[in-house]
Amino acid sequence: MSFSIFASSLCLITFSLLLHTVFGAGPNFHFCSTPDNFTANGPYESNLNKLTTYLYYQSPPTGFGKGTRGHYPDQTYGLALCRGDVSTSDCKTCVVEASSEIRKRCPYNKAAIIWYDNCLLKYSNNGFFGQIDNINKFYMWNVQVVSEPGPFNEKTKELLSQLANEARATPKLFATGELELGNSTKLYGLVQCTQDLSSDVCKKCLDGIIGELPSCCDGKQGGRVVSGSCNFIYEIYPFVNA
């Protein structure tokens, strides 16, 4: 299945997306989010090392972790979120990999974010907990187009909006579901927020990215909008009646 990816860096590449992947693939995207750099072996790096170690121990049992280390001006804030349906072991594997990889890609940046299929990891020298992150965002979409984009777009929005309402009412701020489209096909959807957000702010975040469906994925057979605070995935697939 062929997909494309778009981010604010205006990078466009072919991408492969499977909704149920086995971890081991590289990251989907990353941003070195600030021009502010830290000094090697200095206090900020020491705090960042302590924070990432804390996150890959704290996150796997529940799928989410957040914390801070140090004091101003060397304080660092971070979180890790695993997809709501991955195992504890896959969550830990992903967060450990993300912690290592982001330091290779953004070696001295005080703020950075990286996304994999199974997790995201984000840190910054500025507090961000509870706030919607619309700055760090990318799109992915299937290059194949459905035969009737209008009705399909409405069904996609309907499913994702329903899931957003379900997710806001769950501790994990996560929901999945599917909708029969006829012609032996189903529409699968997934939505999730980082758990530093309140229920209401999660819903606001999801409503915002669902509103970007026309920009991202108009009539496409599958797609994602992924931000630093929430994301959705949808895809159509065939099914066989029992």
* Least trusted range by pLDDT, from 50-59, 111-120, 178-187: 178-187
pLDDT, residue 240, reads 58
Q: Higher pLDDT residue, 2 or 182? A: 182
pLDDT, residue 49, reads 97
**Quick one: 34 exposed, middle or buried, by C-beta within 10 A (0-12, 13-18, 19+)?**
middle
Mean pLDDT of 110-136: 97
Mean pLDDT of 159-187: 94
Please list the residues that pair with 112 across neighbouring strands: 32, 123
> Is 3.30.430.20 the CATH number for 29-129?
yes
Mean pLDDT of 2-14: 39
Q: What is the mean pLDDT of the chain?
A: 89
Q: For 88, what's the count of Cα atoms within 13 Å in the CB-facing half-sphere?
A: 5
Q: What residues does each domain of the chain span?
A: 29-129, 138-235
pLDDT, residue 239, reads 65
Q: Higher pLDDT residue, 16 or 172? A: 172
pLDDT, residue 183, reads 73
Equal CATH topology for 29-129 and 138-235: yes
> Are 138 and 28 within 8 A, CB to CB?
yes
Banded pLDDT at 14 (limits 50, 70, 90)? very low
Indicate if the pLDDT at residue 1 is higher than 70: no
Provide the CATH topology of domain 138-235: Killer Toxin P4; Chain A (3.30.430)
Mean pLDDT of 22-29: 70
Rounded to 5°, the CA angle 94-104-120 comes to 30
Distance CA 142, CA 25 (A): 18
pLDDT, residue 4, reads 47
> Could you tell me what percent of the chain has a pLDDT over 90?
81
Phi first, then psi, for residue 40 (nearest 5°) are -55, 135
Query: How do residues 59-80 score in pLDDT, each as one tens digit?
Result: 999 999 999 999 999 999 999 9
Q: For 21, what's the count of Cα atoms within 13 Å in the CB-facing half-sphere?
A: 18
pTM of the model: 0.89
pLDDT, residue 197, reads 98
